[in-house]
Structure 1
Amino acid sequence: MRELVYHVAVTLDGFIAGPDGDTSAFPVDGDDVTALLREYPDTIPTHVQRAAGIEADRSRYDTIIMGWRTYTPALTAGIASPYAHLRQIVASRQERPLPPDIERTADPVATVRTLKAEQGSGIYLAGGGELAAALVDEVDRLLLKVHPFLLGAGVGMFGGAGTEGAAPGPRRFRPVRRREFDSGVVFAEYVRA
């Protein structure tokens, strides 16, 4: 069965973006970025892959699911299909105009359950916090890029956890891998216990 992997950059205090969704505090250089480009090219937007001279092989992920606010910055920059190398799904309760190669779902839980039953590689949950909260009980693996700073406020990794019909209570994960980089970033990987 395919896994839903929440692969996300996060601060020490658990934020994936600033209060207005701003991600500019997260550096885009350093030895951790080199490792990300080499080991996780499927997570890199298609236009960035081209600029960096890399090509995703879809071995880790062949599908991405993201919330509307995660998709919007690309759209604002004139990039209608940011992950053209993957099957792209945008979770939005509202009907919105999308390019033909991007699917919309108003029910991300049902969509993820259907995806998990299909053949393929992993399903990349790119965010944001509200979508992750809605999918908290479907997340099989966490791949966290923990950055050594605090934001103090912003979009929580599971912003609104316990909403969207998810049952309250702890969700246990066990650590399976941890790597530290000279940049201070730690890649921490967990699987559902």
Structure 2
Amino acid sequence: MRELVYYVAVSLDGRIASPTHGFESFLSEGDHAEVLTPEWGDTIPEPIHQALGLDVRRGTISTVLMGWNTYAVGLPDMPSPYSHLEQIVFSRTQGAPAGADGVRITDDDPREIVTALKQQRGGDIWLCGGGVLAAQLVDLIDRLVLKVNPFVSGDGIPLFAGQYAPTRFALERSRAFETGVVVNEYRRR
């Protein structure tokens, strides 16, 4: 069965983006990137693959889920950022922008969509962000892969933006890098 994997960069204080939904503080270069790029190549936007001449896609992920604000970070330059994947964006108010070929914008219940996706054939389902969507799906997440960056944000988009509902995960692996990034991998208990 397909797994729902929340693979995301996070600050020491649990923020996945700045208050303006930016990622400028997160480290994108260094020894952690050298290791994670080939391991998680499916999560690199297609325009970046092309610009850098990369081909590190692994085929282990076949669907990406995003909330509107996560998706909108790449607009207007990347209206179809993960064209190598099935792209589903959740929004109650927005429609597809020009050039968003292969992007499904939906206001359907994310839980119902994930439950259906898990029953289908294919690679894993990557929850790209954001925090509100992650909170709605927390009890359906099979694995958490957190790239913990060595800074405190102070404010911004939380890893999970929902009501208090403790959910346990078991640490499977932790790797520290010279950049100060620590990658923690958890599985649902």
TM > 0.5:
yes
Q: Partners in 2 of 1:27 and 1:100 — Cα distance?
A: 30
Instruction: Letter of the 2:155 partner, please give it.
Output: A
Are the equivalent residues in 1 in contact too, given 2:26–2:149 (CA < 8 A)? yes
Contact 1:176 1:190 (C-alpha < 8 Å) held by counterparts: yes
CA distance, structure 1, for counterparts of residue 126 and residue 60 of structure 2 = 9
**Does the Cα contact within 8 Å between 1:147 and 1:186 map onto a contact in 2?**
yes
1: CA distance between counterparts of 2:156 and 2:110?
Answer: 23
Q: CA deviation at 1:38?
A: 1.4
Contact 1:9 1:146 in 2 (8 A): yes
Aligned to 2:44: 44
Q: For 2:138, what is the secondary structure of its paired residue?
A: coil
Which residue in the other structure is 1:172 paired with?
Answer: 168
Distance, in Å, in 2 between the alignment partners of 1:94 and 1:100 is 19
Distance 2:144 2:39 in 1: 16
Instruction: Spell out, residue by residue over 1:78-100, the C-alpha distance to the aligned partner (whole angstroms, 9 max, x if none).
Output: 22110011110001112512534
Q: Is the 8 A contact 1:105 1:111 kept in 2?
A: no
Question: Match for 2:6: what amino acid?
Answer: Y
Distance 1:95 1:149 in 2: 33
Between 99-108 and 16-25, report the one with greater CA deviation: 99-108
In structure 1, C-alpha distance between the alignment counterparts of 2:165 and 2:73, rounded to whole Å: 33
Q: Percent identity?
A: 46
Maintained 8 Å contact 1:144/1:188:
yes
Query: How many residues are treated as equivalent by the alignment?
Result: 186
Unaligned runs of 5+ in 2: none
Equivalent residue number for residue 148 of structure 1: 150
Q: Which runs of 5+ in 1 are unaligned?
A: 163-167
Q: Distance in 1 between matches of 2:152 and 2:126?
A: 25
Contact 1:56 1:85 in 2 (8 A): no
Contact 1:63 1:124 in 2 (8 A): yes
Q: In the alignment, which residue of structure 2 is the partner of 1:184?
A: 180
Distance of 1:9 and 1:86 partners within structure 2: 20
TM-score, normalization by structure 1: 0.91
Distance 1:56 1:112, change over 3 A: farther
CA apart distance, 1:46: 0.5
1:110 alignment partner, one of 112, 118, 142: 112
**1:173–1:191 Cα contact (<8 Å) kept:** yes
Kindly provide the CA deviation profile for residues 141-185 of structure 1, in whole angstroms up to 9, marking residues without a partner as x: 0000000110011100002x22xxxxx531110011111111010
CA contact (8 A) 1:5 1:143 kept: yes
Aligned to 1:59: 59
Q: Deviations over 1:125-154 (max 9, x none)?
A: 000111111111111100000001100111
TM-score, L = length of structure 2: 0.93
Asked whether 1:26 is paired with 2:22, we answer no
Distance 1:57 1:153 in 2: 33
More displaced 10-residue stretch of structure 1: 168-177 or 116-125: 168-177
Partners of 2:23 and 2:54 lie apart in 1 by 23
Q: Distance in 2 between matches of 1:65 and 1:97?
A: 15
